[in-house]
Amino acid sequence: MTFIKDLPQQVKQYLIITGNYWAFTLTDGALRMLVVLYFHQLGYSPLSIAMLFVFYEVFGVITNLIGGWLGARLGLNKTMNIGLGMQILALAMLAVPADMLAIWYVMVAQALSGIAKDLNKMSAKSSIKLLLPKDAEGALYKWVAILTGSKNALKGVGFFLGGVLLTWLQFQGAIIAMAGMLFVVWLFSLFALKQDLGKAKSKPKFSEIFSKSAAINYLSAARMFLFGARDVWFVIALPVYLAATFAWDRWWVGAFMATWVIGYGMVQSFAPSFTGKKQGKVPTGEAALKWASYLAIIPALIALALHFDFQVKIAIIAGLLIFGAIFAINSSLHSYLIVSYADGDGVSLDVGFYYMANAMGRLIGTVLSGWIFQLYGLGACLWVSSAFIVLAAILSIRLPKA
């Protein structure tokens, strides 16, 4: 306790922000897996399950646009705490008897959860730039990578937790347990975060939510296709395929997805080591182009294995692991570049715009994941994934080379 008390104020704030982000991410990952597995168990089609997440992603797009503006006007501590409170409300909505869980009702709860998630993420990512010196690009890359990687590792733990809680406590009990845990974190956060963190010196106009930076616009477009490429086969198609084709139990599906996301998060945390930081370099747009080009090959190879029925189980499992590692480096590069490109005063405006594109990619990927898988199967989802990554690579050509 004495050690924590003696830490600099910036470090204390970073630890609180990270703890908030971790707690939120744990419930977010568990909730996603709970919804997918529970409604698949009830007999819903892949497209119907995908539709449950449409409002989650749609409101994520809107939230990132407006949330960045709110963060600059109100302060990032307030937007982060609003996000935590809204997630508790979303969980409370789902803690009702099963016969009340109509599709429209779950979609509304997911909309609240989507708003909450992106308020929380935008606040956490924006805060890092404000807690570091302006010229510390190497440190900025390291801490962005650690925050992003740890978040995704915990999201993987959340996937596993969702499968386990569904088995142990059933859907309603799992939701109540998560809401109680997050409520304790929210109460602590209300009193612990600084009141003025991230508040812009001049109040930005609402018209400033759209970025005027060409670099941020190209990076945002690349991010949209990158995350669309992941979610078009990962969100709905893959867990339903594993449960239906391989006859895996929901516990196994949750554990496998969790392992993938945990590994993905760990690679993200170490991404600076793969992209030149040991040689004293920080990545540029050229690095984003190079790593996207590597990634585009992987889903195409898995799709070919499915088409020719060649070692399908090994191809999917090994291919997913390789895809996750290279995708993690791509994602970490993007996360660093946006924080680096963003303007220091009102940083949440630029970060919010960028994560709006991220949410748009997830929305496109989620809907296509259910629709394409239902009509054409997992192979088609993988071909679309590869095409999206190629588009992300083409857009990366226009990113600054220095």
Domain of 28, CATH number, reads 1.20.1250.20
Is residue 124 one of the residues assigned to a domain?
yes
* Residue 308 covered by a domain: yes
pLDDT band at 22 (very low <50, low <70, confident <90, very high): confident
Q: Which domain holds residue 98?
A: 7-195+212-396
Burial class (CB in 10 A: 0-12, 13-18, 19+), 318: middle
Asked if residue 205 belongs to a domain, the reply is no
Kindly report the number of other CB atoms within 10 A of residue 401's CB atom.
Answer: 8
In a domain? residue 202: no
Residue 206 belongs to a domain: no
pLDDT band at 382 (very low <50, low <70, confident <90, very high): very high
Task: Give a yes or no: residue 72 inside a domain.
Answer: yes
Is the entire prediction scored with pTM above 0.75?
A: no
Res. 46 pLDDT band, cuts 50 70 90: confident
Cα separation of 293 and 300, whole Å? 12
Residue 223 confidence (pLDDT) above 90:
yes
User: What does the pLDDT read at residue 68?
Assistant: 66
Summarize pLDDT for 163-220 with one digit per residue, the tens: 788 888 888 898 999 999 999 999 988 887 765 655 555 555 555 555 567 888 899 9
Report, as an integer, the average pLDDT of 261-265.
80
Q: Is pLDDT at 27 greater than 80 in this prediction?
A: yes
Angle, CA 123 vertex, CA 216 and CA 354 arms, to 5°: 20
The pLDDT tens digits of the residues spanning 52-95 come to: 888 887 887 888 777 666 766 777 778 888 889 999 999 999 99
Compute the average pLDDT of residues 246-274: 79
Q: pLDDT above 70 covers what percent of the chain?
A: 83
**Residue 131 maps to a domain:** yes
Helix, strand or coil, per DSSP, at residue 53: coil
Other beta carbons less than 10 A from residue 307's beta carbon: 11
Does any domain span residue 207?
no
Lowest mean pLDDT, pick from 83-87, 125-129, 140-144, 170-174? 125-129
Q: How many domains does the chain have?
A: 1
Reported as half-sphere exposure (CB side, CA atoms, 13 A), residue 379 has a value of 10
